[in-house]
Amino acid sequence: MTQLALVIDLNVCVGCQACVTSCKEWNTAGSAGPMVDQNPYGADPTGTFFNRVQTFEVGEFPNTETVHFPKSCLHCEDPPCVPVCPTGASYKRKEDGIVLVDYDKCIGCKYCSWACPYGARELDEQQQVMKKCTLCVDRIYDMSMTEDDRKPACVKACPTSARLYGDIHDPESAVSIAIRESGGYPLMPEWGTHPANHYLPRRKTRIKIHEDELERADNPLKVDRQLPKPAMSEPTLDDVTTW
């Protein structure tokens, strides 16, 4: 059975926020929209986003890591937001594992957002319905688009290609390989939600320089430190003594 998901590579994410606004611009005018903004030009503007990047520091100076951490609905395999929904608005699709909200059924009671341990759901304050990432369900099956375009907007936009997208139940998919080979991990597994989305950790590349690598037969100093020989005509001891 298919489980579509995002795998987010923290090793290359630079926190540029492309996923945040590309998501917003596609979805506000798409079938999951609008994504309403309150006080868009005033104090404390606040709007609906399906995807946000949180930046935080780990460690103490100078051993500090700055982590850019994109967060959106993780499309859990066992989503706690679904059973708590009193109207059945929150549901998980059998065919691809995407978790969606049916706005027509949602009464804005917020049970789902309380149940979600990841804070992935946002109530649309104008429409009073719960909104969240749909994995761009209105793009990924749209056969009028080219195959390259049939991806979530955030995946297409991401300049560092930090967002991989595919079926994590297919062991040969790029996302499954990435999880397997690059240390992919789910968030807060202790909650038993089995998030479909995974994260790839930071990896360090180091260069080891051995001391003897600085000693080389072809060191140019061996050429350059040789100074010219004195001319034959220049004075020597031969000219001044007989021993």
The CB-of-93 to other proteins minimum distance in angstroms stands at 7
- Tell me the window of 7-15, 72-80, 111-119, 187-195 that interacts with other proteins (CB under 8 A): 7-15
Beta bridge partners of 40: none
CA dihedral sign, ordered 162, 166, 167, 172: negative
Residue 31 vs 192, nearer CB to other proteins: 31
Q: Is 2 in the site for other proteins (CB under 8 A)?
A: no
> Tokens 């979530």 correspond to what residue?
152
Contact with other proteins (CB under 8 A): which of 5, 74, 101, 196? 101
Q: Is 177 in the site for other proteins (CB under 8 A)?
A: no
- Tell me the window of 115-123, 151-159, 166-174, 184-192 that interacts with other proteins (CB under 8 A): 151-159
- 68 by Cβ neighbours in 10 Å (0-12 / 13-18 / 19+) ranks as middle
* Three-state secondary structure call for residue 239: helix
Residue 82 vs 162, nearer CB to other proteins: 162
- Tell me the window of 80-88, 109-117, 186-194, 217-225 that interacts with other proteins (CB under 8 A): 217-225
Residue 70 vs 80, nearer CB to other proteins: 70
Q: Is 18 in the site for other proteins (CB under 8 A)?
A: yes
Q: In one letter, which amino acid is 123?
A: L
Distance of alpha carbon 160 from the chain centroid: 9
Number of shown-chain residues binding other proteins (CB under 8 A): 93
> Tokens 């149940």 correspond to what residue?
115
- Tell me the window of 77-85, 108-116, 156-164, 187-195 that interacts with other proteins (CB under 8 A): 156-164
> Tokens 């540029």 correspond to what residue?
16
CA distance 70 to 72: 7
